[in-house]
Copies of this chain bind each other. A is one copy, B any other.
Amino acid sequence: MILSALLTSVGINVGLCFLFFILYSILRNQPINAQLYKPRLVAEGKFHEENEFHVERLLPSVSWVKRAWKPSEDELLSNSGLDAVVFIRIFIFSLRVFGFAAIVGILILLPFNYMGNQLSFDFTDLQNKSLESFSISNVDDGSKRLWIHFCAVYVFTAVVCYLLYFEYDHIASKRIAYFYSSKPRPNQFTVLVRGVPVTSGRSFSESVEGFFSEYYPSTYLSNSEVRRTRKLKELINEADKVKKRLAGLKSENYTQRRLGRSGFMGLFRRRIDLQDHYEKQLEDIEANVRTERSSVAEKEVPAAFVSFKSRFSAAIASHLQQGVKPTEWVTEQAPDPQDVHWPFFSASFFTRWMCNIAVIFACIFVTIVFLVPVILVQGLTHLDRLEKWFPFLKGILNLKIISQVITGYLPSLILQMFLSLVPPVMIVLSSIQGYIALSQIEKSACTKVLWFTIWNIFFANVLSGSALYMVNILLEPKRIPELLAVAVPAQASFFIAYVVTSGWTSTLSSELFRPKLLIWSFLKRSLWWKSDEELEAPSNPYHSEIPRVLFFSLLGITYFFLAPLMLPFLLVYYCLGYIIFRNQILNVYVPKFETGGKFWPVVHDATIFSLILMHVIAIGIFGLKKVPLASSLTIPLPILALIFNSYCRRRFLPSFKGYPAECLINKDRIDQGDPTISSFYDKLTTAYQEPAMKATTYYETSESSSAPLLRGAD
C-alpha cells in the first residue's frame, strides 16, 4: 500500500469519527435519546428530564468528555465494580506500553528504517512512497543497524514484563480490597453441589440436607434444590407474550376510543375478537402452568445450592473434594443469584464432560470454516488478483479513488462485519459447556473469541493461505519463524488500515454513537408500532470488547519493531477507547455480574503470547536479514518470557481463583458483629430459588390481583 492510500483511509475515518462525535454530543442532550445514550442513568432513576429547551442542546459540546474523565478509579469501582475498573485498566496498561513503544519506535527505529536502502524508491515522491520504507524491510541485509532493533526487542520485552508484573500485583490487591469492602453477598456464602448421588427412598434435596447437616453441622444453613423447569419456563414465557399482546391491543383500542377514531368498525370489531381469543389462550396457559407447577416438584435434578453461615465454610466446601467419588458431590463456589445459568444443572458429570469435548471440536470447526470469508477479503487488498478474477471491473478499479477505497477501507470493513457474528456464536458454544454462571460463560467466550481473532485475523491475513496450508505450516514448527518473518512485515499496511478503520471508527465510534440502536429506536418511534417494552440497560459485552482491545495490543507488540508507524495510530485508539469506555461505563452499561477482576489473567496471558509471537518473528527476521548472531541471541527471550509467565502464574493466579482463608475469616468476624446479618441469612435461604419458580409465585399473585383488573377493562 502506498502512503496516499493510507492517508485516504485515515482521512475517511477521521471524518467519520468527527461526524459521529459531533452527532453524539448533540443527540445525547436530547431527552428523547436518554434511553439510548444514558440507559444506565435512566434505569437507576438518576436521569432527570429537563423540560425547558435550551439552544445549547443543539450545539456540539465536549462536556461529556470532561465528565467521563473526572471520576477517580475508586469512584468507578464503587459505581461499576471491579470488572469495569479492570477493563479500563487494560487501556491504561496499553497506553503505558505503547507510549514507551512509540517513543522508541518513532524516535529511534523509524529513522533507521527510513535511512535504509534495501527497497529502492524514488526519494522525492513522498506521496507515492510505499509504507514499507518505514518498516524494517527497508534496512539493508546484514546491516549493523539491525542490532538497534535487537536491543529494542530486549528492552521492550523487559518493560512490558515489568509493567505486567506491577499491573497484576495492583489488580490482585484491588481484588482483596474490594472483597473486604463488599457487603455480604449470597454467592460468598453458597456453593453449588452437582452430582448428588441417587439414594433410594430419598429425594435429592433430602440427600443434600442429610449430607451437609451431617458433615457441616455447625455451619450448614439451608439448601435450594434445583428442578427441571424448562417446560414451566416455556409456558410462562408464552403467557408473558400473550399478556403483552393483550395489553398492546387494549391500549390501542383505548387510544382509538379516546381519539374518537373508531374508524373502520370491522377492523375494530376484529380487534375485540382477537382480544377475546388472547384472553382465552391466556386462561388455557394459566391452567397448564398450574398443572405443570404441581408436577415440577417431582422433577428434581441432582444439583442444589447449599448455603452456609460463613464465607469460610462455603470456601471449605467448595475447595475440598466432598464425596469419595470425585464425580459425586462436586462442589464449586456459587455465582451471584442473578448470574446463575440454569439450563445445564440436570446434566450429569459425564454429559457435561462430553459437551466440553464436543465444544472444543465445534470451536475448531468454526475457526476453520471462518477462513473462507477472511481469504475472500484478503483478495481485495490485491487489486491485480481481483482484476484477473473479474475482468469487467477493470475500468472501475483503474479509478484512483475507487482503488484506494477498496484497498484501504473495504477489506477491513467487510472483515469487521463477519467478525461481529463471532462473539454470539462463541457465547452459544460456551453456554453448552456446562458453566453455571453467565460470567463464566462470558469469560470462556472471551478467551474463545480472542484466540479466534488471533488465528483468523492475524494468522489468516498474514499467511493468506488455505486452512490446510496453515495447518501444514503449524506441523513444521522449524519453518514458522522464517515464514512469519516474510509474511508479517508485508501485512503492516493492512493492519495499520485495520487499526484506523476497525479500531477508530467501527469499534469506538459505533460504541459511542450506537448507530444500529439509534436507527432502530427511530424506526420504532416513527412507524406505527409503539414501544411498550422498556429499553433494558445493557451490560458491558466483555466477551467481544476485551478480545478486540487485546488484538490491537497484539498488533502493536508484534509490529513494534517491524513497522513502528503503526504505534501512533494505536495510541490514538487507546486514548479514544479510554475516554469512550469510561463514558459508556458511567452512562450506558449496568454491571450484570461481578467476577472480582477475573478477566485480568486473560489479558496477562494474551500479552505474554503477543510477546512470544514478536520474539518468534524477530528470530525469523534477523535470520532473513543475515544477522544470524542476533537471531540466535533472541532465542533465550521467549524462554525467559515463559519463565516470567510461569512465575506470575504462581505468584498471582491463585489470588484470582478464590479468596485466602485470612480474608474470609476476618470478613466473617466483621459480619458477626453486624446486626443485619440475621436478616441477611433469611434472605439467603431463598436467594437461589429458580426464576421460573419465583415467576410462578409472581404469576399467581399477578393472576389473583391483576387479572381481574385486566378483565375489568374489557
List A residues at the B interface (Cβ < 8 Å). Answer: 176, 215, 315-317, 319-324, 326-327, 329, 349, 353, 357, 472, 475-478, 643, 646-647, 650-655, 658-663, 665
Contacts and interface: CB of A to CB of B under 8 A. Distances in A.
B475 A478 contact: yes
A661 B478 contact: no
Contact of A476 (B316, B327, B476): B476
A353 B647 contact: yes
Contact of A661 (B321, B353, B646, B659): B321
Given A353-B647, A357-B643, A472-B478, A663 B324 contact: yes
Given A326-B655, A353-B647, A353-B650, A660 B320 contact: yes
A661 B326 contact: no
A258 to B, nearest CB: 65
Most chain B C-beta atoms within 10 Å of own C-beta, residue among A353, A646, A662: A662
Contacts of A662: 215, 322-324, 329
B478 A478 contact: no
A478 B478 CA distance: 12
Nearest to A477: B475
A322 B661 CA distance: 5
B476 A322 contact: no
Contacts of A643: 357
Contacts of A320: 315-316, 319, 658, 660-661
Most chain B C-beta atoms within 10 Å of own C-beta, residue among A321, A472, A646: A321
Given A321-B660, A321-B661, A660-B320, A326 B654 contact: yes
B323 A660 contact: yes
A643 B357 CA distance: 8
A545 B400 CA distance: 76
A362 to B, nearest CB: 15
Nearest to A320: B661
Contacts of A323: 660, 662
B176 A324 contact: yes
A655 B651 CA distance: 26
Contacts of A176: 324
A324 B176 CA distance: 8
A644 to B, nearest CB: 11
A321 B321 CA distance: 16
Contacts of A472: 478
Given A215-B661, A315-B320, A324-B660, 14 more contacts: A215-B662, A215-B665, A316-B316, A316-B319, A316-B661, A317-B661, A319-B319, A321-B655, A326-B651, A326-B654, A326-B660, A327-B650, A476-B476, A476-B478
A330 to B, nearest CB: 10
A663 B320 CA distance: 11
Task: Kindly list the 8 A-B residue pairs having the minimum CB-CB distance in the complex, ordered from nearest.
Answer: A326-B654, A475-B478, A321-B660, A320-B661, A319-B319, A322-B661, A215-B665, A475-B477
A665 B316 CA distance: 13
A652 B321 CA distance: 12
A349 B349 CA distance: 36
A175 to B, nearest CB: 10
A438 B402 CA distance: 74
A654 B321 contact: yes
Contacts of A663: 324
28 contacts: A176-B324, A315-B320, A316-B316, A316-B320, A316-B661, A317-B661, A320-B660, A320-B661, A321-B654, A321-B655, A321-B658, A322-B660, A322-B662, A324-B663, A326-B650, A326-B654, A326-B655, A326-B660, A327-B650, A327-B651, A329-B662, A349-B650, A353-B646, A357-B646, A475-B478, A476-B476, A476-B478, A477-B477
A125 B315 CA distance: 74
Contacts of A665: 215
Contacts of A651: 326-327
A704 B306 CA distance: 62
A651 B195 CA distance: 12
A643 B355 CA distance: 12
Nearest to A663: B324
A611 to B, nearest CB: 18
A284 to B, nearest CB: 46
Nearest to A211: B662
A576 B663 CA distance: 57
A273 to B, nearest CB: 59
A661 B646 CA distance: 31
Contacts of A321: 654-655, 658-661
A418 to B, nearest CB: 29
Nearest to A319: B319
Contacts of A315: 320
Contacts of A660: 320-324, 326
Contacts of A327: 650-651
